[in-house]
C-alpha cells in the first residue's frame, strides 16, 4: 500500500482536513511542524483508529507535547513504511515468473516429444536428399521453436531480475529507516536488538566475548525543563555524535529511548571495557554545548553500567546485568562508571 493509498486523493476533502488540523494547531499553540501536523491530521481524519485514539488521550490529559508526540510519530512512520513494503508486487512477480517457467516447460516437453517422433523419420531415410528433407521439415523446426522460447524466457527472467533488484533496494531502505532513530540518526531500539543478536552470534561462533555499556545522561530532565525540548533534542544529537567518535568501526551504538544509550564493544576484556567506559565518561564531562541565546554553555555528565557477555546467555540477561550496574552508578552519585559484580 502506497502512502497515496493511505491518505485520500480527494483534494477538497484533504484540504478540509488540513484546514481543521492547522486550526487545531493554532488553538493548541503548537508549531505546524511535520510531527504535530501529521499526528493531528491522523487524529482528524481517523485513518488509523489506534493512533488517533492515542493522540486524543494525550490531548485530553493535557500531556501532548513534542516529547510525548515523537514516539507516536515514529510509530506512524513505521506503519507507513510497513504498508509501503511491496509484498503484493513481489508475490505477483513470482507468480508471473512461475507461470512463464511452467509455460516454457510444457512447450519444451511438447516440442521434445515431437522431435523424438520425428527422429524415427530420420532413421528411415536412405539417401542424403531424404535426410536433408527430413531435417528441414521435421527436425529443425522443433529445435528452433525451443531455442526461440528459451531466448524469450531468458529475456523475461532478466526483466524480472531488474525489478527484483529495485524492490530489494527499496526494501533495504525501508528496513534501514525503521531501525534508525530519527532524532540522532543512530540505531534505535529495533536496530539495537538486531545488533545484539549479531554480537551474540559472532561471540558464539568465534568464542569471543563482548561488553555492553549502558549509558544514561544525568539530570537530563532539567535541560528540557529549563531550555525546552528543541534544545534537549539538540543535546541528544550532540551526545550521539560524541559517543560515535569514541567507538571503533566494529562496535555498535544505539539510542534506546529518552536519554538512554547503549554501546556494544566487540572482542574486549573486562578491564578494556571499563577503560573505554571511563574514557567516554571523561569526554562527555569535558565537552560542552553552546546554546543560542544563552551566555553559559550546557555541560553534561553521564552514568555508565558495564557488563560482559557470558557464553550461552541471552541478550535480556546481559542487559539486566548492565542495567543493575547503571542503577548502582546512579545511586552512588552519578557521573561514574560501575560494573556488574564479578563472581
Q: Name the most confidently modeled range: 58-62, 139-143, 178-182, 279-283.
A: 279-283
pLDDT in tens, 65-113: 888 888 888 778 766 765 555 555 666 666 666 676 667 667 767 767 7
Say what the pTM is. Answer: 0.56
Q: Does residue 114 carry a pLDDT above 90?
A: no
Q: Does residue 2 carry a pLDDT above 60?
A: no
* CATH code for the domain defined by 189-339: 3.30.70.270
16: confidence class by pLDDT, cuts 50, 70, 90: confident
**DSSP string across 169-203:** HHHHHHHHHHTB-TTTSSB-HHHHHHHHHHHHHHH
Pairing status of strand 337-339 against strand 302-308: parallel
State what percent of residues in the chain have pLDDT above 70: 79
**What confidence score (pLDDT) does residue 70 get?**
83
Q: Name the most confidently modeled range: 58-62, 124-128, 206-210.
A: 206-210
Dihedral sign from CA coordinates of 41, 42, 43, 47:
positive
- The angle, 0 to 180 degrees and rounded to 10, between the axes of the packed helices 229-245 and 270-286 is 140
What is the distance between the alpha carbons of residues 194 and 198, in angstroms, rounded to a whole number? 6
Q: Name the most confidently modeled range: 81-95, 98-112, 257-271, 290-304.
A: 257-271
pLDDT in tens, 136-161: 777 777 777 767 776 776 666 666 66
Task: State CA 188 to chain mean position distance.
Answer: 9
The upper half-sphere exposure of residue 179, i.e. CA atoms within 13 Å in the direction of its Cβ, equals 14
DSSP code at position 305: E
What is the distance between the alpha carbons of residues 245 and 241, in angstroms, rounded to a whole number? 6
pLDDT in tens, 22-50: 888 888 888 888 888 889 988 888 877 78
Cα three-residue angle 146-151-155, rounded to 5 degrees: 145
User: Which one of 259, 313, 320, 340 is the catalytic residue?
Assistant: 259
257 versus 113: which is more confidently predicted? 257
**What confidence score (pLDDT) does residue 12 get?**
80
DSSP code at position 314: -
What is the distance between the alpha carbons of residues 38 and 34, in angstroms, rounded to a whole number? 6
Q: Strands, DSSP E only, in the chain?
A: 210-217, 252-257, 260-266, 288-289, 298-299, 302-308, 337-339
Report the chain's mean pLDDT, rounded to a whole number: 82
The upper half-sphere exposure of residue 71, i.e. CA atoms within 13 Å in the direction of its Cβ, equals 10
What is the distance between the alpha carbons of residues 149 and 224, in angstroms, rounded to a whole number? 68
Average pLDDT in the 218-239 region? 87
User: Which of 3-12, 94-103, 170-179, 313-322 has the least mean pLDDT?
Assistant: 3-12
Q: If you count them, how many residues does the chain have? A: 343
Q: Does residue 210 carry a pLDDT above 60?
A: yes
- The angle, 0 to 180 degrees and rounded to 10, between the axes of the packed helices 34-45 and 49-60 is 110
DSSP code at position 287: -
Annotated catalytic, 260?
A: no
Amino acid at each position: 500500500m502506497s502512502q497515496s493509498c493511505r491518505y485520500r486523493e480527494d483534494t477538497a476533502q484533504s484540504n478540509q482536513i488540513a484546514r481543521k488540523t492547522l486550526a487545531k494547531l493554532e488553538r493548541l499553540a503548537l508549531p505546524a511542524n511535520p510531527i504535530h501536523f501529521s499526528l493531528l491530521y491522523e487524529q482528524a481524519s481517523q485513518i488509523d483508529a489506534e493512533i488517533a485514539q492515542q493522540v486524543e488521550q494525550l490531548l485530553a490529559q493535557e500531556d501532548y507535547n513534542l516529547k510525548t508526540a515523537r514516539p507516536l510519530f515514529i510509530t506512524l512512520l513505521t506503519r507507513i513504511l510497513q504498508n509501503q513494503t511491496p509484498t503484493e508486487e513481489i508475490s505477483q512477480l513470482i507468480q508471473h515468473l512461475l507461470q512463464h517457467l511452467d509455460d516454457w516447460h510444457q512447450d519444451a516437453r511438447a516440442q521434445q516429444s515431437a522431435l523424438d517422433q520425428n527422429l524415427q523419420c530420420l532413421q528411415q531415410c536412405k539417401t542424403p536428399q531424404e535426410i536433408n528433407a527430413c531435417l528441414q521439415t521435421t527436425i529443425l523446426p522443433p529445435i528452433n521453436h525451443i531455442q526461440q522460447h528459451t531466448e524469450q524466457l531468458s529475456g523475461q527472467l532478466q526483466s524480472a531480475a531488474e525489478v527484483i533488484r529495485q524492490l530489494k533496494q527499496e526494501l533495504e531502505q525501508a528496513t534501514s529507516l525503521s531501525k534508525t532513530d530519527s532524532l540522532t540518526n543512530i540505531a534505535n531500539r529495533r536496530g539495537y536488538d538486531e545488533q545484539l543478536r549479531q554480537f551474540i552470534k559472532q561471540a558464539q561462533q568465534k568464542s569471543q566475548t563482548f561488553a555492553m555499556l549502558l549509558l544514561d545522561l544525568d539530570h537530563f530532565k532539567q535541560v528540557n525543563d529549563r531550555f525546552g525540548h528543541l534544545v534537549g533534542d539538540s543535546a541528544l544529537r550532540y551526545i550521539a555524535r560524541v559517543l560515535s567518535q569514541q567507538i571503533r568501526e566494529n562496535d555498535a551504538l544505539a539510542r534506546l529511548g529518552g536519554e538512554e544509550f547503549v554501546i556494544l564493544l566487540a572482542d574486549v576484556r573486562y578491564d578494556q571495557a571499563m577503560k573505554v567506559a571511563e574514557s567516554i565518561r571523561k569526554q562527555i564531562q569535558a565537552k560542552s554545548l553552546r546554546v543560542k541565546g544563552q551566555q553559559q554553555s550546557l555541560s553534561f555528565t553521564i552514568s555508565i553500567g558495564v557488563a560482559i557477555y557470558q557464553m550461552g546467555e541471552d541478550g535480556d540477561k546481559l542487559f539486566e546485568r548492565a542495567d543493575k550496574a547503571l542503577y548502582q552508578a546512579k545511586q552512588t552519585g552519578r557521573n561514574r562508571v560501575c560494573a556488574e559484580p564479578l563472581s
